[in-house]
Amino acid sequence: MGIKLKFSFQRKGDLTSLYEIVEALRSEKGCPWDKKQTPQSLKKYLLEETYEALEAIEKGSPEEIKEELGDLLFLLLFIIYLYEEAGVFSIRDLVYLTFQKMIRRHPHVFGEEEAKTAEEVISNWQKIKSKEGKSESVLGNIPKSLPALQRAYRLGERAERVGFDWNSPQEVFPKIYEELRELEEALSQGNTSQIKEELGDLLFSLANLSRKLNLNPEEALREALEKFEQRFREMERRIKEKGKGLQELSLEEMDALWEEIKPAKL
């Protein structure tokens, strides 16, 4: 006989009912898989669900967005419950802490200060965080676990706030050319560690160019990868129709087919 929940589906909009689901899954008669989980074991799923939510937002389908955000919300509640279960903190503690922080960091809404632009809000936000002892650096505490291109973009944003930046996208190009020349030089010398360093510098410069163009490099690269994958699969399909495999084609033949496919909107 299954576990009976306290709340009926008539309260389907109540977050408490979701928390009760977690409690049931973790109970003695709950799910063997859920009972084995820890905050550490759920980290990979948290990352996966976040990216699935981001992908849904990019696609723009309301139903898909709703579903993926729901999955992410449930996983967050699950992790919070694990800490509450272990006696580290409760969901009430977490909500109260976040409530106080949001009030404190929006004095232009809940206090007497004024902020008429988004830039003023960001400036005040940094000052408040500094007073809280969060970070003395303008760079803040951007997670090192972020995808590297995204972290490069965010670090550039932070440096920009104090004027350590180029004035326009065009001014970034000389830096890109400089890094490319240094990479070529490192390649000619065959120094592996230097090649890696110069390649990193080049990628960082490209991320900064993306930022100056108001384009997120992660999104741009994802779209490029999607385009490459679609074209490559189309190339495979066309070759298969001829009863061949890509391995049977020369590089010149594959290049010719690639150029033929490129104009098509896949």
Contact 46, 40 (CB under 8 A): no
Contacts 24+ apart (CB under 8 A), 139-148: 147/218, 148/203
pLDDT at 152 (0 to 100): 95
Q: Does domain 148-215 have CATH number 1.10.10.10?
A: no
Please report the pLDDT score of residue 9 as a whole number: 47
Q: Distances in Å between the alpha carbon of 128 and those of 64, 79, 178, 241?
A: 37, 28, 38, 63
HEC string for the chain:
CCCCCCCCHHHCCCHHHHHHHHHHHHCCCCCHHHHHCCHHHHHHHHHHHHHHHHHHHHHCCHHHHHHHHHHHHHHHHHHHHHHHHCCCCCHHHHHHHHHHHHHHCCHHHHCCCCCCCHHHHHHHHHHHHHHCCCCCCCCCCCCCCCCHHHHHHHHHHHHHCCCCCCCCHHHHHHHHHHHHHHHHHHHHHCCHHHHHHHHHHHHHHHHHHHHHCCCCHHHHHHHHHHHHHHHHHHHHHHHHHCCCCHHHCCHHHHHHHHHHHCCCCC
CA distances to 171, 172, 261 from 176, rounded to whole Å, are 10, 6, 30
How does pLDDT run along the chain (266 residues), one tens digit per residue? 566 666 554 455 678 889 999 999 999 999 999 999 999 999 999 989 998 999 899 889 999 999 999 999 999 999 999 999 999 999 999 999 999 999 999 999 998 888 889 888 888 887 887 777 776 687 878 888 888 999 999 999 989 988 999 999 999 999 999 999 999 999 999 999 999 999 999 999 999 999 999 999 988 998 999 999 999 999 999 999 989 888 899 999 999 999 999 887 76
CATH topology of domain 9-101: Helix Hairpins (1.10.287)
Give phi and psi for 74, each to the nearest 5: -65, -40
Say if pTM beats, i.e. exceeds, 0.75.
no
